[in-house]
Structure 1
Amino acid sequence: MTVVTQLESTYEYIRDKLTGAAVAPGTKLSRRRLAEEIGVSPALVQQALGQLESEGLVERRPQSGTYVRELSADEYANLCDVRELIEPYAAGRAATRLTAKQLSQLERICERFRELAEKVTHIETVEGRHRFMPRLVREEQDFHGIILAAAANPLVMNLTSTLRLLAQVRSNVEAGAIQRQVMIAGEHESILEALQGRRAELASERMLLHIRGSRRPLAGDEDAPPERGRS
């Protein structure tokens, strides 16, 4: 494995921990512990953390260390506002531009997501349920990524990729995040149906409803965020 490949896999591993609810916002990250966990050098972990910092997922505090970025309620609301403006537009553009191959990929993603979402609701332990989150997050990222790519607007692609990651770091540790996955599966399928019909306005409307749904995590879920670790 080359150094570049090692860096990519290290970055992806840490990113998946952050977006998959394995680490709560505000948690201090230990380079040494992450290096041991991944099986790489602390220097490589530091490089990966630097990339995550540039994307806004982590923050360095002087004479303290690196922490998972903790969005305030206002910051999260602002982030959702921007997504509600951009992603429905992208879905509308994608409806008339998606290739047959891309539609097939979206269909497979929807199938995998629903299978995972339904499976996770039958797991009894909180730890067991949270182990599925990175896989669900990757499917979610791929679903939106294909739509954004089909929209054929690089600026939109660049703007939204980091916004979605930031949103998931917060929303996936909210109460109800696990329960909401089955609802998300249905929302994805609804968006796909509009895209398959080449109905741009409907695809845009359904994407807007999907983004708005992330503002309303379900109450009463026993899946509390993981405890903040110590380095």
Structure 2
Amino acid sequence: MYDPLGPLSVPKAPGYREAAFHAIKEAILSGQLKYDQPLVEEDIAIRLQVSRTPVREALAILHHEGLIAPRSGRGFYVCRLTREEFVDLFTANEVIEPYLVRRAALRATDAQMRDMEDAITLGKQSEQQQDIAGMLRSGRDFHRAVGSAAANTPLTRFVVSNEERTDLYLLSCAQVLDVSQLSQSNQEHERIFTAIVQRDPETAARLVVYHSQSVRERLAPFFTVDEAQMLAEKGSDLSQK
């Protein structure tokens, strides 16, 4: 398995912070760094084979992005969302994404459409492999590709950041999250993509609103689980192994 926290292949120190940031973020979003696993500067620095300074700076950026947070003075941990926060994130996306898909339907180049199609293909392949992290990644890739076609970087970053924060929580639910609950998102992406290919901005906008509402309805129940209960269940699972 590919390890994103392997030695960095960056020739000079000025690039270490950005490389460390991307490596740690990839490890989190691939599920290799878990919610209840502390992000220890020294340990990560050893794995990346860099000093602690770029790791500390990378963790500060991740904290600023809302992906990690300190807990009880014991270092950083991956953030977990409440149900209210989850609903708020997708309500915000529901406001912004119709604008992005309308522009994408009018402006998308052949190359940008291939990026959207590649994201959908990744979702299908990940579904066949029962790969939850891969399916979540395909969703982020699709929305990023739509934003790229819309040519609005700030709004694209906002939407993808909301997707990332949600995905971090869903990765912690991987044991109870069923692939079928994510496969519907890929089908909805495919319908949005078809409208973009057909240069139909209003249909694309309608479909992306439906998609956002569908995600909220399907996944909101996962955010009603009490954090202490989830941690207790994890401890029980570990004791039975």
TM-score (norm 2): 0.76
How far off is 1:49 after superposition?
Answer: 0.7
The 3-state SS of whatever aligns with 1:217 is helix
Residue in 2 that maps onto 1:217: 219
| AA partner of residue 151 (structure 2) | A
Which has the larger Rg?
Answer: 2
Structure 1: 5+ residue runs without aligned partners?
121-128
Find the counterpart in structure 2 of residue 110 from structure 1: 120
Partner-residue secondary structure (3-state), 1:28: coil
What residue is the counterpart of 2:208 in the other structure?
207
The percent identity for this pair of structures is 24
- Aligned residue pairs, count: 215
Residue 85 of structure 2 is aligned to residue 86 of structure 1: no
Residues 1:10 and 2:38 are matched in the alignment: no
- Quote how far apart the aligned CAs of 1:108 are: 2.4
Distance 2:61 2:85 in 1: 21
- 2:151 alignment partner, SS class: coil
What does 1:1-231 align with in structure 2 at a 5 Å threshold? 1=10, 2-25=12-35, 27-61=37-71, 63-120=73-130, 129=131, 133=133, 135-174=134-173, 175-176=176-177, 178-215=179-216, 216-217=218-219, 227=234
Distance 2:170 2:95 in 1: 19
Q: Secondary structure at the match of 2:124?
A: helix
Give the aligned residue type for 2:208.
M
- TM-score (norm. length: structure 1): 0.78
* Structure-2 separation of matches of 1:219 and 1:146: 28
Higher relative contact order (CA 8 A, sep 6+): 1
Q: What amino acid maps onto 1:165 in structure 2?
A: E
Structure 1 residue 161, shift from structure 2 partner: 3.0
Determine if contact 1:24/1:227 at 8 Å carries over to the other structure: no
| Matched-pair contact (CA < 8 Å) for 1:96–1:200 | yes
The answer for unaligned runs of 5 or more in structure 2 is 1-9, 223-229, 236-241
Q: Distance in 1 between matches of 2:214 and 2:28?
A: 21
Describe the shift of the 1:172–1:180 C-alpha distance in structure 2 as closer, same or farther (beyond 3 A).
farther
Matched residue type, 2:145: I
CA shift in 2, pair 1:55/1:181, >3 Å: same
CA deviation after TM superposition for structure 1 residue 176, in Å: 1.8
- Cα deviation digits, residues 17-67 of structure 1 (max 9, x gap): 323333444543222232333333332221111110111111134733212
Once the 2 structures are TM-superposed, how far is the Cα of residue 95 of structure 1 from its aligned partner?
Answer: 0.9
Structure 2 vs 1, CA of residues 116 and 20 (structure 1 numbering), >3 Å: closer, same or farther?
same
Once the 2 structures are TM-superposed, how far is the Cα of residue 137 of structure 1 from its aligned partner?
4.0
Contact in 2 for aligned 1:84/1:211 (Cα 8 Å): yes
Report the CA distance between 1:4 and its aligned residue. 4.2
Q: Deviations over 1:91-143 (max 9, x none)?
A: 122111111221122222222321222122xxxxxxxx46xx1x444433222
Write out per-residue CA displacement over residues 144-173 of structure 1, whole angstroms, 9 at most, x where no aligned residue. 112112223344224223222112112333
Alpha-carbon contact 1:84-1:208 (below 8 Å) kept: yes
